[in-house]
Each structure stands twice: as structure tokens, then as C-alpha cells.
């Protein structure tokens, strides 16, 4: 069957009608009992976190010792302190005061300036990256992903979701690829320019991690042929083209054929990207939607840590 632009536009109309029929009055029951049972996974990760951090820190090799007096905290302590500060979602001064309370647990206390410097500590950054790899290796990756982008505000007076006009000076953009099997993030990108720039960085991170992608669901924002070219024949892409599509090309042909073969299955796969939106919503409620840091490298560390904390606390239970 020869696929033309007219065929593609016809398929879009069919998909829209199917979407209305499939999801009209559709009720999904959530298995809360199974969710409660799976919470043990979170407890297990948290119990093993100190061990994972030690393993992640051990993989960081220093080529030479830095100038000046050695710091009083080693890499494991600095990494645990950074994760604690991000989990509390408090200002650096509040974190300093909390450490007074938790000093018997941590065995040390530091100033708010020391907490802020952790965001630009290159060794901590490497340890966090290694920790992400260890968590993914421990949990396993399904190969089926969904991706979407969002923004984090730099001030509490502006919220990314409620402001129609969003400028890069007010927000920092992130793109995260979520594993549909485990609910864990496997790819992360940060940008001060746009969500598309963050998407490209997330794809490069996935490549560095050596994770194979069998299928991926994406929003219409990522429906250009340039984006589709990033995925090879091995990857099934579930994305709906924009209604004003004018040129198909070889990349779109594979997507349109998938729609023709089974439009219901295609829609079900496409809407799995809603898991990304649910993940962003949960992360912002738990870990905050504002980035307080002013230096760009520290802003990136802050947003990356939210993805890492998500992987510690996530539970993936499929609705029935």
C-alpha cells in the first residue's frame, strides 16, 4: 500500500474518532493492594542506599589531589548530604539547621555555604551519575519508554504550568525518558534554551548508558522528521503527527504503517506517555517545582537530583 500525505491525514481523523470512542466513559481501577505490597521495594532501596553510594563513590577516580586543605567530608559523606538536602527540599540555611538535629545520625555538621557548594562538586556529580546506573542495573530496564518535557521555575512567583508565556529566563527545561516497566527514569536532559535541547541531551545520555530502546511514546512536540531520524528500525515510535503535516518521508512511513496495522494498539501505546506527565506531577509535589540555585551548573545538578530521587521512591503498578 502506497502511503501518501492524504492517507496520513485520513489516519489522523480515524485516530481522533477512535480516541473518543475508546476513552469515552472508560473507568480504570487502580490496584491499591498491589501498590501497598510493592512499597517494600522503596524500603529496600532506601536500606541499600548507603551501600549503593559507597559503590558509586568507589568508581570515581581522582587524577590528582586538589590544591588547598583537604575537606573534612569524604565523597560518600558529601553525596549522602547532597541527597539529604535535596530530599528535604529546604533552603541551604534550613538544611544547616536540620543538620544540628540530625548530627547524631550523620556525625557532622556543616555551614549553608558548604551545602551550596555540593551542587557544583564534580566528584559528587560523578557519584550521582554512577548511583543512577547502579539503581537501573539493580531494577532492570524493560526497553519500552515514554518521554516528555517540562520546566522548573526560578522563582516562586511564576509557575510553569499556569503561565501561558514561558521564557527561558524564567524557567529551566528538562526532558526525562521513563521506563514503562519500572517507572524509573533512564534518560535525562537539562537546558536553559528549550525542551527540544533537553530532549537531545537525554538521548545522548541514553546512548552513553548503553540502554537499548525497543519502543518509545512521545508527545506531538517531538513529531518532526528530524526527531524520528534519531531512532533506527529497531525502535518502534508511537507519536501522532501534527494535523498540518505536508511531507511524510521514509521516517513517517513506518509510523503510519503501524497506525494502519492496529490503530487501537497504536493509541494505547501512544497514551502511555501520560506516565511521564504523572511522574512530573508527583516529582514536583514531592521534591519541589522551584530551582533555587543561581549558577547554571548548580541548577542542572538540582534538576538531575530530582530524577534520581524519583528512581528511589517510584513504584510502577499498572492500572486494570
Ramachandran area for residue 143 (φ above 0: left; ψ -120 to 50: alpha; else beta): left
Domain definitions of the chain by residue range = 1-27+142-291, 31-61+73-139
Q: Which helix (H) or strand (E) holds 42?
A: helix 32-58
Average pLDDT over residues 81-94: 92
Query: Which residues are CB-contacts of 76 (< 8 A; sequence separation ≥ 6)?
Result: 50, 53, 54, 57
First to last CA, the chain: 36
Residues 215, 231 contacting (CB under 8 angstroms): no
Q: How many CB atoms lie within 10 A of CB 135?
A: 21
Residue entry with cell 499498572? 318
Bigger pLDDT: 182 vs 13:
182
Structure confidence at residue 101 (pLDDT): 86
Nearest CA to 251 out of 230, 220, 225, 269 is that of 225
Ramachandran area for residue 140 (φ above 0: left; ψ -120 to 50: alpha; else beta): left
Nearest CA to 207 out of 189, 193, 192 is that of 189
Residue 115: pLDDT band by 50, 70, 90 thresholds?
very high
Chain segment 234-257, per-residue pLDDT in tens: 899 999 877 655 565 667 778 878
Chain segment 207-232, per-residue pLDDT in tens: 999 999 999 999 988 988 888 888 98
Residue 69: pLDDT band by 50, 70, 90 thresholds?
low
Amino acid at each position: 500500500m502506497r502511503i501518501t500525505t492524504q492517507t496520513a491525514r485520513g489516519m489522523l481523523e480515524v485516530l481522533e474518532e477512535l480516541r473518543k470512542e475508546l476513552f469515552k466513559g472508560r473507568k480504570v481501577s487502580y490496584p491499591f493492594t498491589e501498590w501497598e505490597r510493592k512499597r517494600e521495594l522503596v524500603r529496600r532501596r532506601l536500606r541499600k542506599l548507603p551501600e549503593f553510594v559507597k559503590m558509586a563513590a568507589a568508581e570515581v577516580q581522582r587524577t590528582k589531589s586538589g590544591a588547598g586543605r583537604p575537606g573534612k567530608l569524604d565523597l560518600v559523606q558529601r553525596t549522602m548530604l547532597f541527597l539529604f538536602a535535596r530530599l528535604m527540599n529546604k533552603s541551604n540555611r534550613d538544611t544547616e539547621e536540620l543538620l544540628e538535629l540530625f548530627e547524631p545520625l550523620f556525625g557532622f555538621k556543616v555551614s549553608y555555604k558548604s551545602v551550596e557548594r555540593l551542587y557544583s562538586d564534580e566528584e559528587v556529580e560523578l557519584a550521582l551519575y554512577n548511583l543512577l546506573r547502579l539503581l537501573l542495573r539493580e531494577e532492570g530496564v524493560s526497553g519500552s519508554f515514554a518521554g516528555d518535557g517540562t520546566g522548573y521555575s526560578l522563582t516562586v512567583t511564576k509557575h510553569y504550568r499556569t503561565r501561558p508565556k514561558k521564557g527561558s529566563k524564567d524557567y529551566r527545561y528538562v526532558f526525562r525518558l521513563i521506563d514503562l516497566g519500572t517507572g524509573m527514569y533512564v534518560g535525562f536532559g537539562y537546558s536553559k534554551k528549550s525542551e527540544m535541547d533537553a530532549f537531545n541531551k537525554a538521548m545522548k545520555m541514553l546512548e552513553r548508558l548503553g540502554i537499548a530502546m525497543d519502543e518509545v511514546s512521545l508527545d506531538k512536540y517531538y513529531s518532526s522528521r528530524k526527531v524520528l531520524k534519531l531512532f533506527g528500525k529497531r525502535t518502534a515510535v508511537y507519536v501522532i503527527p501534527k494535523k498540518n503535516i505536508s511531507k511524510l518521508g521514509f521516517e513517517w512511513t513506518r509510523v503510519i504503517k503501524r497506525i494502519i496495522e492496529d490503530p487501537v494498539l497504536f493509541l494505547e501505546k501512544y497514551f502511555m506517555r501520560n506516565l511521564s506527565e504523572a511522574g512530573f506531577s508527583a516529582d514536583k509535589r514531592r521534591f519541589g517545582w522551584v530551582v533555587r540555585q543561581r549558577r547554571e551548573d548548580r541548577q542542572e545538578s538540582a534538576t538531575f537530583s530530582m530524577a534520581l530521587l524519583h528512581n528511589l521512591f517510584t513504584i510502577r503498578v499498572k492500572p486494570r
